Amino acid sequence: MPMPVEIEMGHLGDGPEPDGWDGDADRHNLRYDADLAADQASVGRNDRIFNAYPVNRNLLSQFTVFCLILNRTIGSGIFAQPYNVVSGAGSSGLALVIWVLAPLVCLCQAACWTEMALSIPRARDVDGSIVATPKSGGDKNYLEYIYKFPDLFITCVYGVTFILLGNLSGNAIQLGVLMETIRDPSCTNDPDCLDSKRGQVVGWALGSLLLVALFNITTRRGAILLNNVFATGKLALVVIMIFLGIIWGAVHKDGCRQISFLPPGPATDLVQGSTQQFGGSLNEVIQAFTFAMFPSTGFEQPFYVLAEVKQPRRKFAPVVMFTMGLMLVLNPLINTSYFCVNPYLGSSSAGPIGYSMTNAAINYFSTISGGADTNTVIRGTSVLFVLSIFGNLLSVVFTSPRVKQEIAKEGILPKSLMFASSSDSLLSRLQSSSSSSPYPGGGDSHVQIPREQVPLAATLLHLSWEIILVVAVGSTMSPTEAYNTISYLYTYVITGILGFMVVAGLLYLRLDAVLHRYVLPRGPHGEVKGRHWDTKSEWSIPYVGALPALVSSVGLAIMLFGAFAKPAHEQTGAGAQTKWWVKPLVGWCALLLGVLWWLGIQLRQYLGQYTFRRRRTTYVEADEVGDLIQTAEMVTVWRDYK
């Protein structure tokens, strides 16, 4: 029997807190479902919507969670970013260390996210007990739990930032680069050639984004199936490349022994004819670390759709930790294979010598092919990587619009309920519906989904900003620089700034629990004050305690603030068209837009003499193992005039 969980997300009212009040759980009160029929009948009101979640066989399996992460992590990052990483590191040895540290920090982040995901939101059951029910939305939920006041502040900061930058439009540009490489292989090592095809690259990027969005709103099941197929194929490709590269390098060129922490020596600048050595300064190493983080940020994907995962409390954490541990092994190994095949010879202002300006993996296959027709090899390799990047886009367009749907449920956007609503997929509209009711009964669950539900409006919102970014950045910069800029901003802001706020917040919760329990004075009746995270946390890695939060906090802090250190060489392959401080500054400005958005909401409430309120009533039921899962949600927003 599903139980509706009434979630009061707005102003909680004035006056003293009642006896037994739990500041977290009593925002999520369970009540009986006697009013279920009335709730269904009220959906037609223009201030509320009703969404049903997938149930039973439509839930995401462990294998799909595994594939969601892999499909995001294996793509343009490990094929195109090695150029940026080795250029910034200045040596192949340091580059490999960076390729270990970056996935390690992301692994620690994933552990922090998992602890938060399986512990909140907290709800008070009808018997008075407090339970946690996993919810979609990812770090939006964690930030709102940690930074509660002022009301809507962190929601606006996160929401505006994620809507602006929470996409892979940079990968779409890289796909366009590869498509032009297929058409004209001579562009592989010629930045001027690619720059002259800027319009074509943007066109390919826009076409790929439109195709992926159309596929995701056409069929949810088909998108999941295709995601799993792409992920499996890409994993097989990477494993083959690792073994082939290391074996080939050891047999033919002994390139593996040339991996060194020492710079290979000054290289002749291919443009100006001078002798220069780039890479190795603090700023350049931190830039390299940021670019190496980009492919490992795929751990976020299943958290964004956690309410759609099967048995999340029992099966989610192991598969996330295993997948991120696998990437911790694969990322440095694939880069080792690159160096074994094409030893690093040094850097110039034109980039690492012997490295493709767009894709290190293309050089890898070109070298291994030996006397084969170079153009044929480049075209064939580019086709493989186009498919790989298409898989990236497919995974993100499946998950990110669902986060934007969660943002819209807070009512902070114009026409919020439109973007918060789910719609029948295009394919399901062609099929006969089992019921005309949005919430029919019968079957194993009281919440049945006669048609596939997809976030149609949120997907269009997601697509709109992808198009804006591709056109605005892709038409004003060279394709390589446009890809670097967008992928840098995504990593710096979404993984760096927002990620730091989550892991540092979790570190605060753990420290708060220890201090209030063992150091700080207790209340007049001996009660422990504070946030009580030690009694609320329902998952953590045994024996490590706060170590993941500490490691990821330190790593991300170095990345965020070290980016403003002046590089020894202002022109590097990681981005020669802008000053070193511009990209991180733009990243912080994205958060400032969120602050301004919140101020605008406060001003409207003041001038309109009303208080903005919203309520989310979530229906839950026990799954086959007895854990509560979400089956449906009703969102209501209104203005309470004074």
C-alpha triplet 227, 502, 124: angle, nearest 5°: 90
414 three-state secondary structure: coil
Residue 477 pLDDT greater than 60, yes or no:
yes
Cα–Cα dist 329/324, whole Å: 9
Q: How far is CA 103 from CA 86, 327, 374, 627, in A?
A: 16, 7, 33, 32
Cα–Cα dist 172/73, whole Å: 15
Structure tokens at 556: 């991300």
Structure tokens at 130: 């407090």
**Given its phi and psi angles, is residue 639 left (phi above 0), alpha (psi -120 to 50 degrees) or beta?**
beta
Report which of 79, 91, 83 is spatially closest to residue 259, judged by C-alpha positions. Answer: 91
pLDDT tens by residue, 587-623: 999 999 999 999 999 999 999 998 888 888 888 877 7
Predicted local confidence at residue 126, as pLDDT:
62
Predicted local confidence at residue 586, as pLDDT:
95
Residue 350 pLDDT greater than 60, yes or no:
no
Cα–Cα dist 259/101, whole Å: 18
Report which of 155, 106, 124, 115 is spatially closest to residue 28, judged by C-alpha positions. Answer: 124
The answer to whether the CB of 93 falls within 8 A of the CB of 259 is yes
Residue range 190-198: mean pLDDT, rounded: 84
Predicted local confidence at residue 449, as pLDDT:
47
Higher pLDDT, 228 or 275: 228
Adjacent-strand bridge partners of 348: 351
Residues in the chain: 642
pLDDT tens by residue, 536-570: 888 988 888 899 999 999 999 999 999 999 887 66
Q: Which amino acid is at 380?
A: G
Please report, in angstroms and rounded to a whole number, the separation of the first and last CA atoms in the chain: 39
pLDDT class for 35, splitting at 50, 70, 90?
very low
Residue whose structure tokens are 């680069």: 177
Higher pLDDT, 134 or 28: 134
pLDDT tens by residue, 453-464: 899 999 999 999
CATH number where 557 lies: 1.20.1740.10
Residue 439 pLDDT greater than 50, yes or no:
no
422 three-state secondary structure: coil
Q: Which of 202-211, 562-571, 581-590 has the lowest mean pLDDT?
A: 562-571
Sign of dihedral through CA atoms 494, 500, 104, 559? positive
The answer to whether the CB of 162 falls within 8 A of the CB of 404 is yes
Number of domains in the chain: 1
42 three-state secondary structure: helix
Percentage of the chain lying above the pLDDT 90 cut: 52
Residue range 471-489: mean pLDDT, rounded: 93
3-state DSSP helix/strand/coil percent for the chain, to nearest 5?
A: 60, 10, 30
Cα–Cα dist 95/285, whole Å: 9
pLDDT class for 438, splitting at 50, 70, 90?
very low
pLDDT tens by residue, 311-330: 998 899 999 999 999 999 99
Residue 95: which domain range?
Answer: 3-641
pTM: 0.88
Residue whose structure tokens are 């009642």: 18
For 563, residues 6+ apart whose C-beta sits below 8 A from its C-beta are 283, 286, 287, 290, 492, 580, 581, 583, 584
Higher pLDDT, 398 or 264: 398
For 609-635, give the secondary structure using H, E and C. Answer: CEEEEEEEEEEEEECCCCCEEEEEEEE
For 445, residues 6+ apart whose C-beta sits below 8 A from its C-beta are 2, 55, 56, 621, 631
> What is the rounded average pLDDT for all residues in the chain?
83
pLDDT tens by residue, 144-161: 999 998 999 999 999 999
Helices and strands (DSSP H and E) totals, the chain: 23, 13
For 333, residues 6+ apart whose C-beta sits below 8 A from its C-beta are 242, 246
**What DSSP letter does each residue of 202-259 carry, written as one string?**
HHHHHHHHHHHHHHHHH-HHHHHHHHHHHHHHHHHHHHHHHHHHHHHIIIII-GGGG-
pLDDT tens by residue, 234-271: 999 999 999 999 999 888 877 788 888 887 755 433 33
Residue range 577-593: mean pLDDT, rounded: 90
Q: Residue 621 — φ and ψ, nearest 5°?
A: -150, 160
Q: Which of 37-51, 508-522, 537-551, 553-567 has the lowest mean pLDDT?
A: 37-51
Sign of dihedral through CA atoms 214, 220, 224, 229? negative
Predicted local confidence at residue 125, as pLDDT:
64
Q: Which of 40-49, 292-301, 520-529 has the lowest mean pLDDT?
A: 40-49
Helix (H) or strand (E) holding 48: strand 48-52
